[in-house]
Amino acid sequence: MRIIKLLLLLFVIQTQAQQGGMWIPSLLKGMNEKEMKSLGMKISAEDIYSVNHSSLKDAVPQFDGGCTAEMISDKGLLLTNHHCGFDAIQTHSTVEHDYLQDGFWAYKMEDELPNKDMEVMFVVRIEDVTAKVLDGVLNLATETEKQKKIQENISALNNSSPKEPWQENKIRTFFDGNQYLLFVTETYKDIRLVGAPPSAIGKFGNDTDNWVWPRHTGDFSLFRIYADKDNKPAVFSTSNVPYKPKHFFPISISGLKENDFTMVLGYPGRTQEYLPAVAVNQIIETLNPAKIEIRDAALKVQDRFMRKNQAIKIQYASKYASVANYWKKWMGESKGLKKANAVAAKQKFEKAFQEKVINAGKQTEYGNLLADFEKNYTEIKDFALARDYFIEVVLRNTETLLVGYKLYQLEQILKNKGEQAFTDRKKNLIEGIGDFYKDYNAEVDKNVFEQLIDLYAKKSPKQFLPSLLNNLDATKLTNDIFLNSKLTSLSGYKELLDGDSKTVINKINSDIGYQLIKSLSDIYTTDVAPKYDELNLKNSALQRTYMKAILELSSKADRVFPDANSTLRVTYGKIKGYKPNDAVYYEPFTTLDGVMEKYIPGDYEFDVPKKLIDLYTTKDYGSYGVKGTMPVCFIATNHTTGGNSGSPALDAKGNLIGLNFDRVWEGTMSDIYYDPKICRNIMVDIRYVLFIIDKYANAKNLINELFIVGQKK
C-alpha cells in the first residue's frame, strides 16, 4: 500500500512537473526545490539564488533590454544569441567588413568593438515589498485613485530603499497587482563585441525555419563587459578593465539524453496565462486573424519587391524580419490554441473555479467575476479591434502613414503644449527623419498602402471609419496620395516642416496624405482610445481580483506562477521530443547532418559556408563531436517566451549545456496556454557553439578563457 502511494505520488509529481511555469528565483526554496530535485536536479535552491554568497543568478544578466545573456569567463565574457547581438553586428558592418555576412572574431582584447548605448543588467537581490506598496490603497474608492496611490508608494520606496550609489531600485508587480517585488540591480555600460559567426550559421534557416523544429541554427554571439578598476559599472573608457563576475558558468560537453533534467534562467517578457476563456476566444476569433491578415498583405508586397531588387532588399530586410517574426508567431499561436482546445480547457477551469468560490463562501467577493469578464470583453471587442487596425495599419505597416502620424503628434503638441514644445519636437523630427527615409521606398509603400487601406475600410469596425474611407476606391485614393502628398519623400517632408508653427500647420493640413492621417487619428484618439483605455482598466482590475481569488482558492499542487514581466525567472523541465501531428514524432536533437540536408548553395536562407562544409566532410569535430556527428540544437519542456532569447540552458548541476533562442511552431501558444504535450523551447547545443569558436573561427584565445567540464560520451 505504502509503495503504491509512493508510486502514485511520484507519478503526480512527474506529470505535474511537465506543466511549465516561470518561477521567481528568490522563492524556489518553498515553491519548487522538491519538485526540481525529483526531476533530477543535483543542486539546491540556494545555489540558484542567494543573497549571502554567489549563486547562478549572478551569471545571468538581462542583455540590452530585450534579451538574456550568461557569463562564461572570469574576464567578463558573455554569451547571447546572434539575433540579440544582430543590431550591434550590423552597426559595425560596412561593405569592406561585412560582419553579418562573414562573421567577426576578436583574437585580442584590443580588437573588441565598443557599442554605443548597449547595456547589461544584473540582479543583486530581490525583496518582497507588497505590504509597503499597497499601504493605504485598499480602502480608496476608485481604480484611478488606487493606481495613483500605488505609483506614489512605489516612487517613495524606490527612493528610500537601501542600495549602493551605483545600483538601482526597481519595483515590479506580480500576479496582476497582488504581489510587488523590489529588484536591486547593477547596469554595466561598456559592452564590446567579441565574436559572431556568419549569418549563414547564426541565422541559418532565417524566416523559413523561424519558430520551427527541427532546427539547425547556431544562434549565438559573444560580448565582453568592461568595468572600472573597482569592478563597478562605468561608461566606455580605454582604461576600463574586463569585468569579474560573481559567478560564471562551467561548460559541460558531456551531453544529455532524452528525459534528462534541464533548467533555463532568464528574463521572459510577457505572458497571459490567466486570461478568461472569453478573452482567449477573442484573440483566436477576432484579433489574431485581423493582425495576421494585415501583416500578410504587407509582407507579400515587400517580399515581391525585395526579390527583384537588391537595394530594396537591404532597405527592408530588418523591418521585414521583425514584422514577419510575430506574423508567424500569431499564426502558430492561433493554430495551437485551437488544436489544444484552449478555450474549452479555460471554460472547464472556470467551472471548477466557480464551484470553489461557492464552497469557500466567497460569492459576494468573487461570484460575479466571470460574468463581469464576459460583459467587459463583449463591450471592448470593437474598440480592441479598431485599435489593432489603427496600430497595425497606421503605426506599424504603412510607412507613409507612420511618418504622417509624427506630424499629427506635432500638431497636437502645438495645441496642448505651446510654441516652445513645438519647436523642440520639430527640430528632433528634422534631425531624425533622414534615417527613416534612407530605408523608405515610395513605390513599395504605395503598394502596401493600397492593400492595407482597403482592408482598413472593409474590415475595421464601421462606426470608427472616417468619412474619407466610406465607399472607398482604394486605387484612386492611393494614386492621389502617392502623386500629390509631400510625405512620400525626404525633400517633401522637409518642405512641409519649413517655416514657423502657423506656416507648418497650414502646409500640412493642405496635404492630402496628412488629411487622411488626421481623420484616422482624430477618430482613434477621440472615439476609440479613451473608451478602450477605460474598459481595459476595468479588465485589469478584474484580472487582479481574479488572480487574487485563484491564489486564495488554489493549493501548492496547482502550481500557480506569475505571468512573465521581464523579471528574472527560472523554468525547468526535461529534454523531450514531441508529436506535432498524427503519425509524426520529432526527436529532441539535431546534428550537422541536418544542416547539410537543408543546404541550398547560394540561397539567402540555407547557404552553408565553405569552411563548415570542409569541417563536416573531414568530420573534424575535436572534442565536441559525438560518434562522428556534431550536435546542433535540442528541445525541452522549459516554459519560455520572448525575452528568454540568449538564456542559459543548464544541466542538473548548473553547468551550461546550451542557450535558448526560440520555441516550436506547434507550441507558440504557450504565452496563453501551456500544453506540456507540445510546448517546447529550442536551444543551441553548447558543443556546437564551442566547435564554431574553436574549429571554425580558430579563436583559441576565447576557448582558453572558458572552464570546460565533463567528459565526452
Residue 163 CB, shortest distance to ligand ARG, in Å, is 32
For ligand ASP, the closer of residues 80 and 169 by Cβ is 80
Rounded to 5 degrees, what are φ and ψ at 114?
A: -65, 155
325 counts as binding ligand ARG under rule CB under 6 A: yes
Interface positions, 652-671, toward ligand ARG (CB under 6 A):
662
Determine contact, residues 68/662, Cβ cutoff 8 Å: no
Please, are residues 36 and 19 in contact by the beta-carbon 8 Å criterion?
Answer: no
> Quick check: is 219 catalytic?
yes
In this structure, are residues 570 and 28 in contact, taking their beta carbons and an 8 Å threshold? yes
Residue 432 phi, psi (nearest 5): -90, -15
Minimum separation from the CB atom of position 211 to ligand ARG (A): 5
Q: Quick check: 321 binds ligand ARG (CB under 6 A)?
A: yes
Q: From the CB of 1, what's the least distance to ligand ARG, in Å?
A: 50
Instruction: Kindly give, in sequence order, each residue whose CB lies less than 8 Å from that of residue 687, ignoring residues fewer than 6 positions away.
Output: 253, 255, 624, 625, 626, 630, 631
Per rule CB under 6 A, is residue 211 in the interface with ligand ARG? yes
Q: Which helix (H) or strand (E) holds 632?
A: strand 631-636
Residue of 645, 675, 685, 694 marked catalytic = 645
DSSP states of 232-295 as a string? ------TT-EE---S----EE-S---TT-EEEEEE------TT--HHHHHHIIIIIHHHHHHHH
Beta strand pairing call for 261-266 and 167-174:
unpaired
321 binds, among ligand ARG, ligand ASP, none (CB under 5 to 8 A by kind): ligand ARG
Taking CB within 5 to 8 Å according to partner kind, which of ligand ASP, ligand ARG, none is near residue 271? none
In the bound complex, what is the minimum distance in angstroms from residue 649's beta carbon to ligand ARG? 15
Q: Which of residues 80-139 bind ligand ARG (CB under 6 A)?
A: 83
C-alpha to C-alpha distance for 263 and 650, rounded to whole angstroms:
5
Q: Closest approach of Cβ 217 to ligand ASP, in Å?
A: 11
| Residue 211 contacts which entry, ligand ARG, ligand ASP, none (Cβ below 5-8 A, type-dependent) | ligand ARG
Work out which of 645, 655, 670, 681 binds ligand ARG, going by CB under 6 A.
Answer: 645
Instruction: Confirm or reject binding of residue 64 to ligand ARG (CB under 6 A).
Output: no
Q: Exactly one of 64, 209, 219, 671 is catalytic; which is it?
A: 219
Binding residues for ligand ASP, per CB under 6 A?
640-645, 661-663
Q: What is the DSSP string of 104-151?
A: EE-SSGGG-EE-TT--EEEEEEEEE-HHHHTTTTTT-SSHHHHHHHHH
- Residue 637 contact among ligand ASP, ligand ARG, none, beta carbon within 5 to 8 Å by kind: none
The piece of 118-126, 205-213, 309-317, 458-466 that touches ligand ARG (CB under 6 A) is 205-213
User: Which residue lies nearer to ligand ASP by CB, 342 or 508?
Assistant: 342
Q: How far apart are CA 642 and CA 651, in angstroms?
A: 22
| DSSP string over 421-473 | HHHHHHHHHHHHHHHHHHT--HHHHHHHHHHHHHHHHHHS-GGG--GGGTT--
Binding mask 386-425 for ligand ARG (x = CB under 6 A): ----------------------------------------
Cβ within 8 Å of residue 281, ≥6 positions away: 343
Question: Which of residues 642, 648, 667, 676 is near ligand ARG by CB under 6 A?
Answer: 642
As measured in angstroms, the least distance from the Cβ of 116 to ligand ASP is 22
Candidate segments 203-211, 348-356, 440-448, 515-523, binder of ligand ARG by CB under 6 A = 203-211
Identify which of residues 245 and 332 has a Cβ nearer to ligand ARG in the complex: 332
83 is known as an active-site residue = yes
Report the C-alpha gap between 543 and 559 in whole angstroms.
18
Q: In terms of CB distance, is 100 or 253 closer to ligand ASP? A: 100
Is residue 210 part of the contact set for ligand ARG (CB under 6 A)? yes
Instruction: Give the interface size with ligand ARG as a residue count (CB under 6 A).
Output: 10
CB closer to ligand ARG out of 180 and 223: 223
Would you say 103 or 643 has its CB closer to ligand ASP?
Answer: 643
**Rounded to whole angstroms, what are the CA distances from 137 to 143, 156, 369, 543, 548?**
10, 14, 21, 17, 15
Q: Does 266 bind ligand ARG (CB under 6 A)?
A: no
Asked if 639 is an active-site residue, the reply is: no
Give the number of other Cβ atoms within 10 Å of residue 487's Cβ: 28
Q: Considering the complex, what minimum distance in angstroms separates the CB of residue 330 from ligand ASP? A: 12
Report residue 130 as a C-alpha cell. Answer: 507588497
Decide if 395 contacts 517 (C-beta within 8 A). Answer: no
Partners of residue 658 on adjacent β-strands: 649, 685
Q: Please tell me the distance from the alpha carbon of residue 258 to that of residue 577, in angstroms, as a whole number.
A: 8
Report if residue 566 touches ligand ARG, rule: CB under 6 A.
Answer: no
Active site amino acids = 83, 219, 645
Residues that bind ligand ARG (CB under 6 A): 83, 206-207, 210-211, 321, 325, 642, 645, 662
